[in-house]
Amino acid sequence: MADGERGWVRGPTQVLRAFRWSMQGLAACWRHESSFRLEVVLFVVFAPLGLWLGENSVERVLLVSSLLAVLGVEVLNSALEAAVDRFGPERHELVGRAKDMGSAAVFVFMMNVLLVWALVLLPRLWR
């Protein structure tokens, strides 16, 4: 959305509106996307575990932010799918490719979670 005449300056009203729109987006994702709901449940389980297992603030940030990144990419993937589905249910090669790429992005970030958690936590097994 364009900022209009005021440019980058935002007052409390604009910030509140942006926050409300963000919450509407998260609510829509929760309502319509079972993958998002599952990932939120996993975040609720693993984020406290990451905070507990991290030995310092850097490790805690890495463990928790890798989980949070999955949620962000899932929201983007869901937005892409909703926008593409707007044009109808008929199958098209480019629509399929776009959806597959969005799904692949979520997968890459899930692999990032495994990598981060392994690199942070596995060396402790060999101490």
Annotated catalytic residue: which of 74, 81, 90, 93? Answer: 74
CA distance 117 to 63: 6
Per the annotation, the verdict on 74 as an active-site residue is yes
Tokens found for residue 97: 């490719």
Residues 78/25/67/52 CA torsion (nearest 10 deg)? -160
Residues 14/79/101/1 CA torsion (nearest 10 deg)? -30
CA distance 109 to 74: 9
Residues 34 and 55: beta-carbon distance below 8 Å: no
Q: Point out the residues that are catalytic.
A: 74
